[in-house]
Amino acid sequence: WSVTLLFLSPKDLYTAPDSCRGRCEEPYSTEDECHCNAECESYHDCCEDYYRHCRPEGFSSSWDAITDEDLLHISEQLYKADHNKARPTDIAINPQYQASPDETGHQEDRSPQPLYKYVNEELFSKPTYASFIKLLDNYQRVTGREEDVTAEELREQDNFLKEVMKTELMKKLFAFLHKKNRYGSEQEFVADLKEMWFGLYSRGDGEQDSSGFEHVFSGRARTGGMEGAGQPWADGLTPGSCLCLGEVKKGKVSGFHNWIRFYLLEKQGIVNYFSHNFNGPWDTYPDVLGLQFSWDGFYKEVGSAFIGCSPEFEFGLYTLCFIARPGRACHLSLGGYSLSIQTYTWTNSTYGNGKKYIATAYVISP
């Protein structure tokens, strides 16, 4: 393992967009390393390709930009289109002890009962759920072990993408991105989804051992080493920052943000729920919960998950934010309530014409 990883700052491994492709007239943000609105010319902080994309017949004229208002509108549309989400009678959770900010690192099990009192498992027979669950056993849990992707697993990836693309939610997302000139056809969109989510890259010693889907939805185990050290999504998180579940690093957990995965592992006795530090304002599903737990003996100090949403809802929201606001907070609206998602690109390797894989995506606590 390379000791130099210890000294890399997050910016060394992940960077905000440095291109104006699809960002013309985007609102100014201090988080951006360069800018794409008209004022950047007078402030001399335009991205290098500002004139190519934004003046005047470039790829991205102003109507191609995804504005903050666009994100609020499309996220509400996706929220309403989640027809496969759990009904209030499908899930009963038992949050029990609420931890204060200074208690989240105590590693004390203050909730004797499981988080999930009841889940109507008939949900899991719905096509998007069934195809999603089949993907969860396709991964080596230990970082540094090369993934052996079988023909059957590739078919399962294709089947999941096929099923989610049948939903109104993903059709609305594609229509929005098509209108914004990101994809010319649904076929192109699906091909890119497969690469950005399922394309393999190395988080370890050079082996193709990880993917965005695996990190976000499934999780991995790690008992030592420095993989991910210094990341804003790694261990030692403060309230109001990353709320993540699952991939084990340095004997701790990151990634694994999915309620279905959590429920299935808790049912097997592999995940032990300790407490929660945040319960979202939603009075129906999907909801958001911040929680503390151990996974097969490894502790997670601050985790979060959407509770009761369909697989396509999480998949769609994270995709939207990765495309629209990679490397930055992506501000959304769900049922009239604000929610933000943070994504990061994996910049150590690319696919296609310099496109980036998904490193992680997670809910930021409001």
Query: For 203-234, b where at least 16 C-beta lie within 10 A, e where not — what string?
Result: bbeebbbbbbbbbbbbbbbbeebbbbeebebb
Residue 300 bears catalytic tag: yes
Q: Are the C-beta atoms of residues 278 and 243 closer than 8 Å to each other?
A: yes
CA angle 200, 202, 207 (to 5 degrees): 95
Residue 200: CA atoms inside 13 Å, Cβ hemisphere, count?
18
Which one of 215, 249, 252, 276 is the catalytic residue? Answer: 215
Which one of 53, 85, 252, 300 is the catalytic residue? Answer: 300
The helix/strand/coil state of 274 is: strand
Residue 85 bears catalytic tag: no
Q: Are the C-beta atoms of residues 364 and 241 closer than 8 Å to each other?
A: yes
Q: Where are the alpha helices (DSSP H) in 180-244?
A: 186-198, 212-213
Which one of 35, 257, 276, 356 is the catalytic residue? Answer: 257
Q: Which helix (H) or strand (E) holds 279?
A: strand 271-279
Residue 257 bears catalytic tag: yes
The CA distance from 252 to 297, in Å, is 9
Known catalytic residues are: 215, 257, 300
